[in-house]
Structures are given as structure tokens and as C-alpha cells.
Amino acid sequence: MESKADKGRLMTNETAIKKELKDYLEITGWFVFHLMAGIGSYPGAPDLIAIRNGIVLFIEAKAVKGKLSNGQKVFQSRIQNSNGHYIVAHSHIDIVDYLNEHVQ
């Protein structure tokens, strides 16, 4: 069972990853904003949305051992079924790799 200390470390890791992703995207010219979870938010919505040159990225930041929740999997599927760009990112390298493979 995961302890409160472990959950705190996971949160800190994901918080640091979100910051790294946002910083990288902004430096490379993307307009980036963070979505807040809570009342009125869409279930499973990703952490970040990034837009540049008409391309929209939906980005879920995850720690190394982090896994998507069921709601996040549904959201990912809906975006991908709409030919959208959904990235599960553990670091900015995942974004670079995705863009090189899927976006011209």
C-alpha cells in the first residue's frame, strides 16, 4: 500500500514534470495553460493544453510509475478518435519524440 509520504513524493514529481513540460513548451513557442481539476472540470481532462500554429496538444504529465486513471483513458481515447494529439509525458523528451513522429 502506498503511504502518504509516497503520495507526496509522487505529487512533487508530477508537479516538477508539469513545470518542466510547461517551461519547455513556452520556450519553444507554444501557448500553454494548465487545467485545474475539480468541480465543473471535465473528467479525465489532461494537465496541460499547448497550442502553436493551429496544432493543439493535450498533455498528461505522469511520474515514471504513474498510470492513467480510467477517466484519463476515456479522455485520451476521445481525443485520439477525433484525430487529436494526446501525449502522456514523463519529460519534455516524450513531447519531442511525439512531435517528431506525429506532427510535421
**CATH number of the domain bearing residue 34:** 3.40.1350.10
For residue 38, pLDDT beyond 50: yes
* Percent of the chain topping pLDDT 90: 75
Residue scoring higher pLDDT (79 or 37): 79
* Amino acid (one-letter) located at 101: E
Mean pLDDT in residue range 9-32: 88
- 47 close to 32: Cβ distance less than 8 angstroms: no
Mean pLDDT in residue range 50-68: 96
Domain that residue 23 falls in: 4-102
Q: Domains in the chain: how many in total?
A: 1
Determine the 3-state secondary structure of 6 from DSSP: helix
For residue 82, pLDDT beyond 70: yes
Mean pLDDT of the chain: 89
Confidence band of 85 (pLDDT split at 50, 70, 90) = very high
* pTM of the full structure: 0.86
- 60 close to 67: Cβ distance less than 8 angstroms: no
For residue 81, pLDDT beyond 70: yes
